[in-house]
Amino acid sequence: MGQITWHGHACTEIRTDDGFRLLIDPFLTDNPMADVGPDHFTDGLDHLLLTHGHFDHVGDAWDILRETGAQLIATFEIVAYAGDHEGVENSHPLHIGGGYQFPFGRAQLTPALHGGQVAGENAGPYSTFPAGFLLELNGGTTIYHAGDTALIKDMELLEGRVDVALLPIGDNFTMGPADAVRAVEMIDPDTVIPIHYDTMEVIEQDPRAWARDVGDRAEVVVLEPGGTHDY
């Protein structure tokens, strides 16, 4: 059995049923919602995935990568920045629509409609497209982490392919609750976990009210930071 742990905001840890440990968007030190710090991962991490370059997603990524030697998976430009300026040597670049077979399964970058800045010193030339991740794990489970995005018609292309979807509901910087319900309709996942809310005042939401709005379209799992979902 595999396990998904939500660490607040968009930060998601995945332990696969064949023993790989993945971490997505590790915004921890400056995240008031985070239940753990970056040292939670120093006892072993296989891959660190970044959906885009904003500070609330990169977070502690460079420190964790240098400390653990985990492999960075992100867009070409983020990987280039990490190698040129952050001392990250173990990395694998992808780009939107492209996927690759990793030891844990296939990771594919999906479109996201959002901002492309990379947070960091001298990061100007490295601005890039934001993305989501479609992870087809070896055990047969497919997880979709949407990243930061508006509701986009491209989500219809995922219909029937996703077991667990992690969708932003915060509004203001990403799609809000009503559009996230439409995303559930379009993707039709078995299970959906709301993310990217309550971290700051402008994205405060009621995830249980959202779960009622989703209704029987999918199983909604509302996690507290540190909460887990077995798949």
Binding site for Ni ion (CB under 5 A): 54, 148
DSSP code string of 32-58: TT-SS-GGGGTT--SEEE-S---HHHH
Q: Are 64 and 142 in contact (CB under 8 A)?
A: no
Query: How far is residue 44's CA from residue 136's CA, in Å, rounded to a whole number?
Result: 22
Smallest distance from the beta carbon of 173 to Mn ion, in angstroms? 6
Smallest distance from the beta carbon of 167 to Ni ion, in angstroms? 14
Q: Which of Ni ion, Mn ion, none is residue 198 near (CB under 5 to 8 Å by kind)?
A: none
Smallest distance from the beta carbon of 76 to Ni ion, in angstroms? 18
Smallest distance from the beta carbon of 9 to Mn ion, in angstroms? 7
Report the residue number, 137 or 223, with the smaller CB distance to Mn ion: 223
Report the residue number, 131 or 214, with the smaller CB distance to Ni ion: 131
Q: Are 4 and 228 in contact (CB under 8 A)?
A: yes
Query: How far is residue 124's CA from residue 128's CA, in Å, rounded to a whole number?
Result: 10
- What residue ranges in 7-90 does DSSP mark as E strands? 12-15, 21-24, 47-49, 71-75
Query: How far is residue 147's CA from residue 167's CA, in Å, rounded to a whole number?
Result: 7
Q: Which of 13, 46, 56, 77 binds Mn ion (CB under 5 A)?
A: 56
- By three-state DSSP, how is residue 197 classified? coil
Q: Is 198 in the site for Mn ion (CB under 5 A)?
A: no
Binding to Mn ion (CB under 5 A): which residues in 145-164? 148
What count of residues does the chain have? 231
Report the residue number, 25 or 136, with the smaller CB distance to Ni ion: 25
Stretch that binds Mn ion, among 52-60, 68-76, 96-104, 185-193 (CB under 5 A): 52-60
Q: Which two tokens stand for residue 16?
A: 């696969």
**Run of H or E residues at 76:** helix 76-85
Q: Which of Ni ion, Mn ion, none is residue 86 near (CB under 5 to 8 Å by kind)?
A: none
Stretch that binds Mn ion, among 37-45, 101-109, 144-152, 209-217 (CB under 5 A): 144-152
Which residues are at the interface with Mn ion (CB under 5 A)?
56, 148
